[in-house]
Structure 1
Amino acid sequence: MILVTGATGTVGRPLVEALRASGAGVRAVTRDRAAAALPTGVEVVEGDPSVPGGIASALEGVTALFLHPRAVGDAAEELLALARERGVRRVVALSASNIDDDPAEQPSRLRGDRNREAEQAAVHSGLDWVSLRAGSFAANTLTAWGAQIRAGDVVRGPYADFAEPPLHERDLAEVAARALLTDQLVGRRLEPTGPESLTHAEQVAVIGRVLGRPLRYQEVPPEAATRGMVRAGLPEPFVTALMARYARGLGRPTPPTDDVAEVLGRPARRYAQWVADHAAAFRG
């Protein structure tokens, strides 16, 4: 039995699907059982992974656990101690490629991610462990630009030339499934990314080609972008940290890794494939 925290999120949902496709038993922890809508055959447990005592019984009979840093928050060490007591043998921790940066320079920390804590808890848990230091998710582009694309053909944003290799969440989920189900990756820190580094402007152009629309990226000053994102409801500290990340990376494209291809025996999915898989969301 595999226990998945963060089971209904961007990574957790395709991970549950990948595990079920492999024939594994899956126990999914969610804060809202009624809204989970997970595949048939998945055992759904309602609970809060950031309060480990409340889900201790869900660890019975579990052999491996997927540790989601936002779902467990500051409770990773406590949860893994409970897991070890109950006979869990392996933990696969979701982390991030910028884990070694100054915490103040990690925007996702301001959204609740505890990537460093999750990896450290896994490494020191006494369990077999794997850490997935994921690159930037392709899904972030839908969050950032989806509303503008549904409204028109111009995407306004900062730093048109900032470049990174967007990662398809299904590639990350399939790597995580391999780490949970086999001994192939035990004791490794992997850095899954997409297969190509693309600028913001290039990503918007890819979206346009897939949708058959003349989309273009119009760069705006960081200050104006910050004001717009804050007005849209994003916390100002998060936006400030994000802009600083873009500024630091300008002119230094993040190179892709081969980790997805190494683990899965095939190339990572290209960004155009991710857009095609989510075209309906861009169309609205």
Structure 2
Amino acid sequence: MWLYRNNPRSSKYPIVLYDWQPSRKADHPREFLKDFSGIAVTDGYQVYHTLGKERHDLKISGCWIHARRPYAEFIKSVGTPAAKGSIAAEAYLMITEMMHIDNGFDDLSNSDRQKQRQHVLQDKVDAYFEWVKLKYNQVTHNSVIGKALAYSINQEEYLRMFLTDGRIPMDNNYAEQAIRPFTIARKNIVLMESDHGAKASAMIFSIAETAKANNLNTYEYFELLLSELPKHQDDKNLEFLDNLLPWSPEVQKKCPSRLKKS
């Protein structure tokens, strides 16, 4: 299951799209993104880097949460007291500090955020990669820590990308959060019997997660869709769909989330 979503902080209408495909080949995101130009924030999967190299109008940016994760997993496995002073603990703190500083720039314009990043974070990013390469030469490369350090080294070009553009977030957490409901559901579903069933599930999850991203009550939204769509089965003009989109004023009024902030 491939997942694509826009950045809700910079997009008027949050959209979450699941795309079921039979493999993890580059052909699938290549087809999905063929009409998209701009910036894609991804994990370290090589397929995305391949697409970025193929096209001049598509930039790939790395995720610092993915860079930090192996250090966090090591700390969790040995326990915080035992990890104190270790390479993993030091790397974790360095990345966390950078992300904490960057969070302080959230209210700035894109141009001001870029300036602040280059003024405040550029040196910290440089220091991190210099430190990572030094430590990598001091550890067994095939060890857990060696692989964690290697991930950052191999992803350096993409992890640095956020410094070049104030629109780029340091992580792809919005996508990570959106894929989690499917991951949890998969444990209950156990298996899907056909590609058609999987594609249908992708559509349902796309509607549900887009509704949640637009602060809707998903149950009430599905109830509305299942009530209204049958009334238009013979319609040739599909403009009625505009009033059923998650961000339409009518839908927002009829299906507000109970958790929606005032």
Question: What TM-score bracket applies, with the shorter chain setting the length?
Answer: 0.3 to 0.5
Structure with a larger share of its residues in strand: 1
TM-score by length of 1: 0.31
Structure with a larger share of its residues in helix: 2
TM-score by length of 2: 0.33
